[in-house]
Structure 1
């Protein structure tokens, strides 16, 4: 499930809060600018594709520290009660300056900058990094796949392997942003308008007495343009069975 408002409110590292508490106690105010960039890329990695920015902005708009979150923060050592009480009115009141999603960025080029009151900029640092990092990682990898497969149709089927359902949504959106044609993730299709793709799995083939029976059954269900999975048992034999069914449909 996507994180709740409570989870967004507490999606920060403790040291962000201890620093913000110190700023509050000392009256250490003023505006700060935080830049998100990468200094050095690994060998054979020369660019990033920026992603996750729209999701970050949505989270910042919704970010609230409500009663349940404040009760928990009040139990943490090191946070002054006056600081915790001040968070009841927390709303992000800074500015985000960012490249457009899908932009190629290079070492030392900011993906985004946060300009905000220093305590707010500190508190949201973890949320900024988390929102942009994974999405940018996937978008960059997807772009590399697109570059080495010119003219090919690439589809995201990663939902069953992503770390969480929410990560599956992020990955589907990032891959589509980078040039993938579709996703298997039905929720991503509904939420982001990404074309949805899916055909048949090995379990379907194995549920019939034979591979040829399975192909014929699937072709009867979808006679217009069936896609047949030929590698459940023996790929070459599967190809022969697919040819038989194709001729029967002709």
Structure 2
């Protein structure tokens, strides 16, 4: 399936009309999240790298035009004006892995109008999914309060590509490893894993299963201990680890039941067996809310394995995002629809300490004590800036999250950080609104 035809139909019909009307002057579209989902005090910008890769490859081929013609029920010659279209524009974006807030542009695309319109669907898709998952991941790290968190999401993400993205975002936000082998190899990220209940069931008993697994795999091992009875499984695991002298770095994994109570019991069994360095891994439907509660309870859990609910951002699986035209042919434009008003003009986010951000116009000076957040990452359809190495982006994100107000970092009922608009942006918004109301409704200019 062509990346180019992976789009909404109206992008094609609008672009074709623009070409017919010779409306090919530069247009700027701004991509932003209108409001944060419940239980989010901030977001983490992610997906920019994927967007840049997509835009750098964008081409409309003859085969793409034929596909468009078929779904529109029109002759091929009607779609030929699109053939050869590639992205030749400029992109200004928030760097991957920075904190972002409601109303702030994650990126702005400036390109000839048909080009900027055609790429809308995929740009939104790539930013939406990855920003939602990255924001969920970083909250797991916050909830764990220094305990290791690992990614077990691949088997239930919405497609394997989404699983690869989730593992990358886990690395970006401070996870300790992933079960995803392809992602671990591609990202130089630790691969982690244990065994399934089926493995234990295939043997005559747990002792035979654990012994065989340890003999096959040198070094630390992790035994899944709740196939039959968790406490007896921990006792068997302790016996095997002692017999094989494999305690250092090894672990037992709890995957069901009352994880708090079972963790205390498992810790007591392991300590009584002289295995204080054997760690406890918890898994099974965990997300930041469950991790927060377990950590707060004092449960002796060393590693939290999060999967399904994090890989799909289950409690907030989408963002109220938009990709809106803010300028065409040098003319600032805006939308006045009820509850969906947009601000006109190309913009900049000026970051102040604590992410007390100001949204202003792209060409206005930065307010005192602030730094511009959006940077130019693509010119003439080619990347103009290299991406930050993943480990450096992770350190920058951790430092930025730490600077947020404590209320915004809360796991339950956080208080989102509010942004303000610059005087220049408010003045432009007023003038454009007045012009539109005069032109559309005949109100006095």
- Secondary structure, aligned partner of 1:199: coil
Residue aligned with 2:3, SS? helix
1:112-151 to structure 2, matched below 5 A, reads 112-151=107-146
Q: C-alpha separation between the residues in 1 aligned to 2:172 and 2:135?
A: 10
Corresponding residue of 1:110:
105
Change (3 A) 1:22 1:79: farther
2:182 aligned residue: 187
Give secondary structure in 2 for the equivalent of 1:108. Answer: coil
Q: Deviations over 1:166-190 (max 9, x none)?
A: 1111111122111112111111123
Counterparts of 2:44 and 2:78, CA distance in 1: 38
Q: Distance in 2 between matches of 1:45 and 1:173?
A: 21
Structure 1 residue 243 corresponds to structure 2 residue 235: no
Structural RMSD (CA): 1.7
TM-score normalised by the chain length of structure 2:
0.53
Which region of structure 1 is more displaced relative to structure 2, 105-114 or 40-49? 40-49
Per the TM alignment, residue 199 of structure 1 is displaced from its structure 2 partner at its CA by 2.3
How many angstroms does 1:79 deviate by? Answer: 6.8
**Aligned equivalent of 1:72:** 67
Give the Cα separation in 2 of the matches to 1:231 and 1:76.
Answer: 53
Mapped contact 2:16–2:82 kept (Cα < 8 A): no
Counterparts of 2:63 and 2:188, CA distance in 1: 34
Asked whether 1:101 is paired with 2:99, we answer: no
Structure 1 position 12 matched with structure 2 position 7: yes
Counterpart-to-counterpart distance in 2, 1:224 and 1:28: 65
Question: How far is the alpha carbon of 1:83 from its aligned partner?
Answer: 6.0
The 5 Å alignment of 1:189-228 reads: 189-228=184-223
The CA distance in 2 between the partners of 1:201 and 1:241, in whole Å, is 17
For 1:7 and 1:177, the matched residues in 2 are separated by 29
Normalising by structure 1, we get a TM-score of 0.92
More strand by share: 2
After superposition, give the CA deviation of every residue in 1:184-236 in whole Å (9 maximum; x if it has no partner).
11111233333221221111111110011111111222343121111111111
Structure 2 CA distance, aligned partners of 1:146 and 1:166?
A: 23
What is the rounded CA distance, in whole Å, between the counterparts of 2:69 and 2:7 in structure 1? 15
Name which one, 1 or 2, has greater alpha-carbon Rg: 2
SS at match of 2:117: helix
**Structure 1 residue 40 corresponds to structure 2 residue 35:** yes
Aligned to 1:115, what secondary structure does the other structure show? strand
Partner of residue 3, structure 1 = none
Query: Quick one: structure 1 residues 51 and 154, their matched pair in 2 at CA, closer, same or farther if it must change by over 3 Å?
Result: same
Name the SS for the 1:74 alignment partner.
Answer: helix
1:70-110 per-position Cα deviation (integer Å, ceiling 9, x unaligned): 21112243878666212221110011111111101011111
Question: 1:173 aligns to what?
Answer: 168
Q: Distance in 1 between matches of 2:17 and 2:31?
A: 23
Secondary structure at 2:83's aligned position in 1?
helix
Q: Distance in 2 between matches of 1:86 and 1:194?
A: 45
Contact in 1 for aligned 2:5/2:67 (Cα 8 Å): no
Higher helix share: 1
